[in-house]
Amino acid sequence: MATRPRIGVTGNGRRWAPSWWCTRLALWLVGAQAVRISVRHEPDEEALHALIIGGGDDIGPEQYGEASNPKIRSDPARDALEIRWIREILDEGGPVLGICRGAQLINIVLGGTLHQDVRHLRKHTRNRPGLLPTKEVVLEPDSRAREIFGATELRVNSLHHQAIKESGGTLRIVGRDRDRLCQTIESNDGKPVIGVQWHPEYLFYLPTQLRIFRWLVSQRPWRS
């Protein structure tokens, strides 16, 4: 029996972490094995094929040069851990997927910025968070994301109140919602880097959403 590719998945360290369990299932469905990484979960020395930077708490504003905000619930230890992993995989050219917070953090590492709170910017989309695919996202027709998902328009879920403001470094925004807020980023230099603002792991029952995990597994291994 062939060995499943091992995908590192970062996230919070709590025992009850629905995002981790759903990501693990999504990866299993596309033939991969999830390896948990958090401040409480140190991966073993075996090679990792790719990396997923998962969703969760807000990113500390100090990470992108803004003043601290008492309304922001951040996790400095997790920020530091994930920034280290992101820098390492970007430097080595490995495949990486950012989910929600993860997409935002990849963008910050590459010099981008965030909206600390987008709720006042929403006019055509709801502020109420939800796991069901009720939000519409339009992808650029010439984007890698369009090729991966096989569609220009997607229905996605929404659990965020922060979003990418300006893309950093080699990233470009290739997907937006009806309020023109960033929903998808990708590398514009051909490297296997992509980030989505929604949570595809909670939509694993939709073949379209499983495609992003299948794409990650299909990339050339990061470390072999």
Determine which one of 100, 115, 160, 186 is catalytic.
100
**Known catalytic residue at 22:** no
The contacts found for 84-88 with CB under 8 angstroms, 24 or more apart, are 85/8, 85/10, 85/37, 85/51, 85/53, 86/51, 86/53
Q: How far, in Å, CA of 219 to CA of 191, rounded?
A: 10
**Known catalytic residue at 82:** no
Determine which one of 82, 182, 186, 201 is catalytic.
201
Cβ–Cβ under 8 Å, residues 185 and 173: yes
**Known catalytic residue at 201:** yes
Determine which one of 49, 115, 160, 199 is catalytic.
199
Instruction: Give the catalytic positions in this structure.
Output: 100, 199, 201
